[in-house]
Amino acid sequence: MQPSPSRLVITPSATALNDGARAERMSKLSFGRAFTDHMAVIAYRDGAWQQGEIKAYGPLMLDPSCSSLHYGQAIFEGFKAFAQPDGGVATFRPEANAARFNRSAARLAMPALPPDLFLEAADALIDLERKWVPQQIGESLYMRPLMIATDPFLGVRPASEYLFVLFGSPAGAYFPKGVKPVTVWISEDFVRAAPGGTGEAKCAGNYAASLVAQAQAEQKGCDQVVWLDAVERQYVEEMGGMNLFFVYQQGGRTTIVTPELTGTLLPGITRDSLLQIARDLGYAAEERRLSVAQWRADIASGAMTEVFACGTAAVITPVGHVKANGFELTINHGENGSVTMALREALLGIQHGSVADTHGWMHTVAGK
């Protein structure tokens, strides 16, 4: 369907940064600290999405009684726009984010946003903010869509009014130390998601509930928390904002393994892409349960040679050390592994347009 331009009115920001100020803001990129000049907002009321607007990035006005502030009717997504060799800009699998956004919305009793409107808003905003798309490999314009309940009412029931917001943030490495192995803490005191809960939705509450476990991980000298299943408390699920992969090398064969989707972990789009890229590179790829005991045994036997985490923001990050109550593991001598780095290079190559996009994952942002 051809996007209808009238669905989003553009009101240019009166305070957009000039070239020099923007270059300064983009000179030392980390993750999530700089924001572009504009944002897209689309309100939902009377059972329908209203005329949207792209306007100056800035604070939102919310009624203090709205249920997103009290009961957490709030979801979000994350995807990236990359500078391409031909001077254009392309986003990585944004339709997959649009689909997951609507699955999260359904789980939180929120209205679906038509995927073509999600994509239209993203393309229109990115097109307007082209100068904010960084040029270096590993850098991107990280796009953050979100939806919150906005109607003024204190009762606990699905709201009838919502706001969709989309903004961009030029991004460098997620971890301040760059592509260096992280140390992870296996959480036994806290769980992230139980069967029937919201683990596979990208809802705000999942992240609020993770913070105390993340703080505990940091107290233990770790960068990130690893979550276990809530029932048996022995199967590895995922990390704070990333999925996990385990690399096996046996008899000349390389296999990557990631925990299967049980409903309690986020079905990562990077995870899904890497299962495919691994097969393209000639590796075997499996989705199955992996217990902590098996993890320890496979490291001890030498069968498991690398572990890495992956996600939109973090791309691929090697895991070098694992800590838990009662034991510690070192993986691949605490160094970046060759399979991890080959997958990272292949993924970034597709995203930056230097490797053929054989699966049709890149979405070119059309110019006006």
Distance separating alpha carbons of residues 152 and 97, to the nearest angstrom: 29
Shortest separation between residue 242's beta carbon and ligand PLP, angstroms:
5
How many whole angstroms from its chain centre is CA 241? Answer: 7
Q: Does 256 bind ligand PLP (CB under 6 A)?
A: no
Shortest separation between residue 200's beta carbon and ligand COI, angstroms:
14
Nearer to ligand PLP, 139 or 161 (CB): 139
Shortest separation between residue 169's beta carbon and ligand COI, angstroms:
10
Pick the stretch among 30-38, 51-59, 132-140, 262-270 that binds ligand PLP (CB under 6 A): 262-270
Shortest separation between residue 312's beta carbon and ligand PLP, angstroms:
3
Binding-site partner at residue 214 among ligand PLP, ligand COI, none, CB < 5 to 8 Å by type:
none
Strand intervals (E) in 93-232: 140-149, 162-171, 182-186, 224-228
Residue whose token pair is 């992996």: 290
Contact with ligand PLP (CB under 6 A): which of 102, 258, 270, 317?
Answer: 270
Binding-site partner at residue 337 among ligand PLP, ligand COI, none, CB < 5 to 8 Å by type:
none
Burial class of residue 115 in the structure, from the number of CB atoms within 10 Å of its CB (0-12 exposed, 13-18 middle, 19+ buried)? middle
Binding-site partner at residue 266 among ligand COI, ligand PLP, none, CB < 5 to 8 Å by type:
ligand PLP
Q: If DSSP codes are grouped into helix, strand and coil, which group holds residue 192?
A: coil
Strand pairing class (182-186; 315-324):
parallel
Nearer to ligand COI, 303 or 348 (CB): 348
Pick the stretch among 13-21, 47-55, 137-145, 235-243 that binds ligand PLP (CB under 6 A): 235-243
Distance separating alpha carbons of residues 245 and 214, to the nearest angstrom: 20
Nearer to ligand COI, 78 or 134 (CB): 78
Q: Which of residues 147-166 bind ligand PLP (CB under 6 A)?
A: none
Nearer to ligand COI, 119 or 239 (CB): 239
Binding-site partner at residue 8 among ligand COI, ligand PLP, none, CB < 5 to 8 Å by type:
none
Binding-site partner at residue 269 among ligand PLP, ligand COI, none, CB < 5 to 8 Å by type:
ligand PLP
Neighbouring C-beta atoms of residue 205, cutoff 10 Å: 16
Q: What is the dihedral of CA 313, 217, 229, 311, to 10 degrees?
A: 10
Distance separating alpha carbons of residues 318 and 344, to the nearest angstrom: 10
Angle in degrees, CA 257, 262, 266, rounded to 5 = 80
Shortest separation between residue 330's beta carbon and ligand COI, angstroms:
26
Pick the stretch among 18-26, 240-248, 296-304, 331-339 that binds ligand PLP (CB under 6 A): 240-248
Phi and psi at residue 173, to the nearest 5° = -65, 140
Shortest separation between residue 367's beta carbon and ligand COI, angstroms:
26
- Count of CA atoms in the C-beta half-sphere (13 A) of 96: 20
Distance separating alpha carbons of residues 142 and 181, to the nearest angstrom: 22
Q: Give, for 333, the enclosing helix (H) or strand (E).
A: none
Q: Does 125 bind ligand PLP (CB under 6 A)?
A: no
Q: Does 259 bind ligand PLP (CB under 6 A)?
A: no
Q: Does 271 bind ligand PLP (CB under 6 A)?
A: yes
Q: If DSSP codes are grouped into helix, strand and coil, which group holds residue 367?
A: coil
* Contact present, 74 and 204 (Cβ < 8 Å): yes
- Count of CA atoms in the C-beta half-sphere (13 A) of 177: 7
Nearer to ligand PLP, 170 or 311 (CB): 311
Q: Does 241 bind ligand PLP (CB under 6 A)?
A: yes
Binding-site partner at residue 268 among ligand PLP, ligand COI, none, CB < 5 to 8 Å by type:
ligand PLP
Contact with ligand PLP (CB under 6 A): which of 78, 94, 170, 172?
Answer: 78
> Running DSSP on this structure, what letter comes out for residue 122?
H
Point out which residues bind ligand COI (CB under 6 A): 78, 241, 311-313
* Contact present, 150 and 43 (Cβ < 8 Å): yes
Distance separating alpha carbons of residues 284 and 321, to the nearest angstrom: 24
Q: Which residues contribute to the site for ligand PLP (CB under 6 A)?
A: 78, 238, 241-243, 266, 268-271, 311-312
